[in-house]
Amino acid sequence: MGRLLFFSNNKNKIIEIKKIFDKFNLQLLSLTDVGISDEPAESGQTFEENAKIKSDYGYNKTGIPCFADDSGICIESLNWKPGVYSKRFLNDFKKKEVCFNSIIKSIKKNGKKNAYFKTSISLTINNNQNIIFNGKINGKISGQIKGRFGFGYDPIFIPQHYNKTLAELSTKEKNEISHRSIAVTKLINFLAN
């Protein structure tokens, strides 16, 4: 398998994934490379279902083996939500900082700091043939917004055994521990064998 399509329009995610893939002799294509600008509706109830919808869509449009991920944060003080709605939840606020402060406020109210990030990757190699790879990182929500690296909820998530948010870690440090890199590493190990 010389070519592989990564189904995502998220520029930050593409950069992060390409850095992980750099070590391997695989040509990673983006949607821009294959001229896809549309995306299917992510109507799944789980990260796995949403990832599968996107990888199937990419494969069916191009015939190139395709993988897609769906990721999100699950926060104890929000009853382990927003989960699969993480992106929508963030976009419901005028600014990210307003969203983050709302989450921090809910934690201060109920004292539940625990959270985790989860990524599910679906690899489609043939029609309706999918392999799923999961990655998860436990941690807690920080008491304040910190850091300028990363994206999404990184500025308020402190990984277990760390005292910095993901947004305070360099891309290299983040890629050593992140939920996405755990799932991508499983994918790469599968492809290498």
Catalytic residues: 70
Alpha carbons 71 and 180: distance in angstroms, whole number: 8
Alpha carbons 106 and 73: distance in angstroms, whole number: 15
Three-class secondary structure of residue 150 per DSSP: coil
Beta strands (DSSP E) in the chain are 3-6, 27-29, 66-75, 81-82, 114-126, 129-141, 157-159
DSSP string of 157-193? EEETT-SS-GGGS-HHHHHHH-HHHHHHHHHHHHHH-
Alpha carbons 34 and 46: distance in angstroms, whole number: 27
